[in-house]
Amino acid sequence: MDVSLCPTKCTFWRVFLLWSIWGDYLLSVLACPANCLCSKTDINCKKPDDGNLFPLLEGQDSGSSNGNTSINITDISRNITSIHIENWKNLQTLNAVDMELYTGLQRLTIRNSGLRNIQPRAFAKNPHLRYIDLSGNRLTTLSWQLFQTLRLFDLRLERNPFNCSCDIRWIQLWQEKGEANLQSQELRCMNLDTAIILLRDMNITQCDLPEISVSHVNLTVREGENAVITCNGSGSPLPDVDWTVADLHSINTHQTNLNWTNVHAINLTLVNVTSEDNGFLLTCIAENVVGMSNASVLLTVYYPPRILTLEEPVLHLEHCIAFAVHGNPAPTLHWLHNGQVLRETEIIHMEFYQQGEVSEGCLLFNKPTHYNNGNYTIVATNQLGSANQTIKGHFLEKPFPESTDNFVSIGDYEVSPTPPITVTHKPEEDTFGVSIAVGLAAFACVLLVVLFIMINKYGRRSKFGMKGPVAVISGEEDSASPLHHINHGITTPSSLDAGPDTVVIGMTRIPVIENPQYFRQGHNCHKPDTCECPSRLETVGLEAEGLVFTGFCKAFLFLCINLVVVKWSSVLCS
């Protein structure tokens, strides 16, 4: 035998023993009264019984029961949903204490018994009751107040010897309105002549529902003020009138006035009205045996804004400064950043919703930077005043904080004190230096202009630039020397011997005669003209080709042999 299994077996037997004891205890608690059958949810007492008490579970009213027993009975009674009692002839009264433990009760049947009286608050602890069958009892009257808190779908009242009186007028009215399925029942009553008539045919004078009126439909006051409201209830029988102000925070007093026999007036005085009562519904109730009437007054309290909550920024999808503000009328909201009006943008904007007189929302920040750090103040304003509250918002550190950690203080070294050094700050602009620079620049410009003029005036060569061999053999480009390109810049020894009025072409020197009209002012070679040669030519003993160049005009080649002094007649220009 394995000894290790003993603890497990012992535990099992202990649990079994405890369960057996607990089961026996539950059976004793669940034992039904005599002549009844019980289940977890039902109590059926259909057998005749001579008892005059409402059937209860055994031990429920035992004075020797301990606290645990009471708790268990309460839990068990709460699960009962149906009670059926029939043929209990001595059961005459239904008390509130008989029903208070059955808080889950939905159906109650007391039929063909001796029930004569039901206490006014018998069903006060049974809010789930939907079906009540009281048929076949000895009820002569019944109050509507028993059922005013219930939502009945079926109320059975047949075969009860009701007296035709104002006390059951409410049943007649319910029949007319078709409530609780009473319209389908043949209810009867006994009139003063001991005649049994249908309840719907009963005619009772001066027995009607009360009428009610109030001095205000809507009452509007400012916080701290006083107000008086009057409620008038009239009818026959004369109703009881009162205000239901159990949850009202403001100080209130009631004063009853009976103006005449059929009017009951009551004044409600509100002292130092508080904002907590804004939206409160003041209800006046008038009751008599026939039924109840009521009228309501909506209380509106105006008060200045108040900041309920203002929280530091929290990151959700965006950074949010949550707030809650209330006031009546609803206040307008705006924000200050470091004392300056905050303008809403795509980066910073406010979202809130209105729930009653409370405005709740967020000041939202979309990717804020260190520039958005600072104090944020919410300002709420309405016609009665304003309120504000400030909170610090820190979103991001500065990227380059001003720090002196890397600097060494002079106090860290033991040095002798030195006299203060005077530092002279240079002016932003040195006027004298600027003047010198401008003067030098102007002088350079003038000098360049003078040089340019002198070069143009005194540096020009002869009209053809062919005086001497240098001009002929040089490679300079000169538009005024039409023959400089003939030798293509080739220098030969023979060119060095050329005279002032010759040009070298290849190895040959050719005499040249200048055209005196070449540089004449106003000369136009585009129209025919005659170029005169005022000079006379000496005889040239050299046989060579002659070249006359007339500038931008036509050139004529000719052969000169033993040139003699002649006079040029003309050269045609075209």
pLDDT tens digits, 106-162: 999 999 999 999 998 999 999 999 999 999 999 999 999 999 999 999 999 999 999
pLDDT at 234: 93
44 within some domain: yes
Closest-CA residue to 187 (of 176, 198, 196, 179): 198
Is residue 533 pLDDT above 80, yes or no?
A: no
CA distance 237 to 261: 10
Under 8 Å CB-to-CB from 502, ≥6 apart: which residues?
Answer: 509, 510, 511, 512
Is residue 563 pLDDT above 80, yes or no?
A: no
Count the alpha carbons within 13 Å of 352 in the hemisphere toward its beta carbon: 23
Closest-CA residue to 325 (of 303, 348, 298, 347): 303
463 within some domain: no
Q: Do both 31 and 134 map to the same domain? A: yes
DSSP-assigned letter for residue 275: G
Instruction: Give, to the nearest 10 degrees, the angle between helix 6-29 and helix 67-78.
Output: 70
Token pair belonging to 58: 């055994």
Closest-CA residue to 187 (of 197, 177, 176, 173): 197
CA distance 472 to 495: 8
Torsional sign, CA 446, 448, 449, 453: positive
56 within some domain: yes
> What is the arithmetic mean of pLDDT over 51-75?
62
13 within some domain: no
pLDDT digits (tens, 9 = 90+) for 451-478: 989 888 886 554 444 444 444 434 444 4
371 within some domain: yes
The amino acid present at 204, given as its one-letter code, is I
Q: Do both 297 and 389 map to the same domain? A: no
Under 8 Å CB-to-CB from 64, ≥6 apart: which residues?
Answer: none
- Pairing type for strands 162-163 and 107-111 reads unpaired
Write down which residue in 301, 336, 368 finishes a domain. 301
Instruction: Please answer whether residues 324 and 359 qualify as being in contact, where contact means their C-beta atoms are separated by less than 8 angstroms.
Output: yes
CA distance 353 to 341: 22
Which of 173-177, 251-255, 432-436, 537-541 ranks highest by mean pLDDT? Answer: 173-177
Q: Do both 297 and 325 map to the same domain? A: no
> What is the arithmetic mean of pLDDT over 523-528?
47
Q: Do both 234 and 323 map to the same domain? A: no
- The angle formed by the CA atoms of residues 441, 443 and 448, to the nearest 5 degrees, is 100
Full domain range(s) for residue 366? 311-393
Mean pLDDT, the chain, rounded, equals 77
385 within some domain: yes
The amino acid present at 247, given as its one-letter code, is D
Q: Do both 224 and 329 map to the same domain? A: no
- 218-230: buried (b, 16+ CB within 10 Å) or exposed (e) per residue? ebebebeeebebe
Any bridge partners for residue 548, and if so which?
513, 556
Under 8 Å CB-to-CB from 149, ≥6 apart: which residues?
Answer: 123, 124, 127
Is residue 10 pLDDT above 90, yes or no?
A: no
Is residue 80 pLDDT above 90, yes or no?
A: yes
Closest-CA residue to 503 (of 546, 567, 563, 460): 546
pLDDT at 253: 82
Write down which residue in 339, 362, 393 finishes a domain. 393
Q: 69: domain CATH number?
A: 3.80.10.10
The number of beta carbons lying within 10 Å of the beta carbon of residue 98 is 17
Residue 59 falls in which region: left (phi positive, over 0), alpha (psi -120 to 50) or beta: left
pLDDT digits (tens, 9 = 90+) for 177-227: 999 999 999 999 999 888 999 999 999 999 999 999 999 999 999 999 999
**Poorest-pLDDT segment among 41-45, 58-62, 443-447:** 58-62
Q: Which helix (H) or strand (E) covers residue 28, if one does?
A: helix 6-29
Whether the predicted model's global pTM rises above the 0.85 cut:
no
270 within some domain: yes
Q: Do both 32 and 124 map to the same domain? A: yes
Is residue 285 pLDDT above 60, yes or no?
A: yes
pLDDT at 259: 61
Q: 244: domain CATH number?
A: 2.60.40.10
Place of tokens 């036509």: 554
Q: Do both 293 and 331 map to the same domain? A: no
Which pairs from 532-541 meet CB under 8 Å and 24+ separation? 532/568, 532/570, 533/567, 533/568, 533/571, 536/565, 536/566, 536/567, 537/513, 537/563, 537/565, 537/566, 538/565, 539/563, 539/564, 539/565, 540/511
Q: Do both 268 and 325 map to the same domain? A: no
3-state helix, strand, coil in the chain (%, to 5): 20, 30, 50
Instruction: Please answer whether residues 363 and 321 qualify as being in contact, where contact means their C-beta atoms are separated by less than 8 angstroms.
Output: yes
430, burial (CB in 10 Å: exposed 0-12, middle 13-18, buried 19+): exposed
CA distance 362 to 366: 12
Under 8 Å CB-to-CB from 305, ≥6 apart: which residues?
Answer: 325, 326, 327, 331, 380, 381, 382, 385, 386, 387
36, burial (CB in 10 Å: exposed 0-12, middle 13-18, buried 19+): buried
CA distance 220 to 91: 55
pLDDT digits (tens, 9 = 90+) for 353-395: 888 889 999 999 998 988 889 999 999 999 999 999 999 998 8
Confidence of residue 502 (pLDDT cuts 50, 70, 90): low
Q: Do both 490 and 389 map to the same domain? A: no
Is residue 22 pLDDT above 70, yes or no?
A: no
Is residue 530 pLDDT above 50, yes or no?
A: no
Q: Do both 229 and 117 map to the same domain? A: no
Is residue 97 pLDDT above 50, yes or no?
A: yes
Q: Do both 102 and 218 map to the same domain? A: no
Under 8 Å CB-to-CB from 100, ≥6 apart: which residues?
Answer: 124, 125
Write down which residue in 257, 275, 301 finishes a domain. 301
pLDDT at 476: 41
Q: Do both 39 and 155 map to the same domain? A: yes
pLDDT at 508: 59
Is residue 538 pLDDT above 60, yes or no?
A: no
The amino acid present at 524, given as its one-letter code, is N
pLDDT digits (tens, 9 = 90+) for 287-325: 999 999 999 999 999 999 999 999 999 988 899 999 999
- The structural domain count of the chain equals 4
- Pairing type for strands 319-328 and 240-244 reads unpaired
425 within some domain: no
Cα–Cα distance list, 154 to 198, 292, 308, 478 (Å): 20, 21, 49, 135
